[in-house]
Amino acid sequence: MIDIQKQIEHWQSNAIEDWQVARDLIDDGRIRHGLFFVHLSLEKVLKAHVIRNTQDLAPRIHNLVRLAQSAALEISPDYLDVLADMNAFNLEGRYPDVDLPLPTIEETHNYLARSEEVFQWLMSQLS
């Protein structure tokens, strides 16, 4: 039998840790890796929501918009746009044939700020 609460806590705590790693990487100028970890932290907090909603293990997918849909969250269109934008950094971080132009540091901080708002909202919805 699956311990649902333990699964939720696992994904939530890992999301928090990955968020800090993302910030550290971006602060160190490692943009590609930092944005990958931003995506990863959003993915993990969304998986916690999926588990809470479905009472089952989260699917092994990485698409943030699909995860939000699976979680049945009442999420704003603006937040869905952020999730859709961040999906690009999952692909770039995983697959060497995806060669997207690296965002400037200013663009990176904009992605980080927009994502942080969504991340904090998602975390607050787990409480």
Task: Report the distance separating Cα 8 and Cα 27, nearest Å.
Answer: 29
Is the model's pLDDT at 93 over the cut of 60?
A: no
What mean pLDDT do residues 43-70 have?
A: 97
Which residue, 40, 37, 121, is CA-closest to 73?
A: 121
DSSP 53: H
100 neighbors 92 (Cβ within 8 angstroms): yes
Given this model, what pLDDT does residue 48 score?
98
Q: How many domains does the chain have?
A: 1
Q: What residue numbers bound the domain in which 9 lies?
A: 4-126
pLDDT for position 17: 98
pLDDT digits 0-9 by tens, 96-117: 666 778 899 999 999 999 999 9
Q: Which tokens sit at 29?
A: 């100028």
* Mean pLDDT estimate for the chain: 94
The CATH code of the domain that includes 90 is: 1.20.120.330
pTM of the predicted structure, to 2 decimals: 0.94
d(CA 28, CA 45): 24
pLDDT tens for 72-90 read 999 999 999 999 999 999 8
